Amino acid sequence: MSATDAHLIDLHGRREDRSVQAPYMDEGDREIYFQEQREEDACLDHMGKAMDMVVQVAGAGVDNYLRVTVEGTLKRVAAVRVEGLDSGDGG
């Protein structure tokens, strides 16, 4: 869980930095950014699936602390995902 949180903090920082730089990006920079964002989105997909699996594997025996922790992580995954720049092609 702590490694996932660390990755989310890193992804948030990267996306925040790029959004500040966006007005100064040329077309080449934006294309590089969108490629990196697609790779980050794939990482976020895996994080979300991993968190879902934690709950599924624990099943009914999952304690409240773990459930709350996983739900919080899933919310952070969703929040980081919406931070990316819009490519104009729906993604």
Domain ranges of the chain: 2-81
Q: How far apart are CA 14 and CA 18, in angstroms?
A: 6
Per-residue pLDDT of the chain (91 residues; tens, 9 = 90+): 888 889 999 999 999 998 899 899 999 999 999 999 999 999 999 999 998 888 788 776 667 788 888 889 999 999 998 887 775 544 4
41 contact partners, CB below 8 Å, separation of at least 6: 81, 84
Residue among 10, 90, 69, 80 at smallest CA distance from 44: 80
Look up the pTM and report it. 0.79
* Burial degree of 14 (CB within 10 A; 0-12, 13-18, 19+): middle
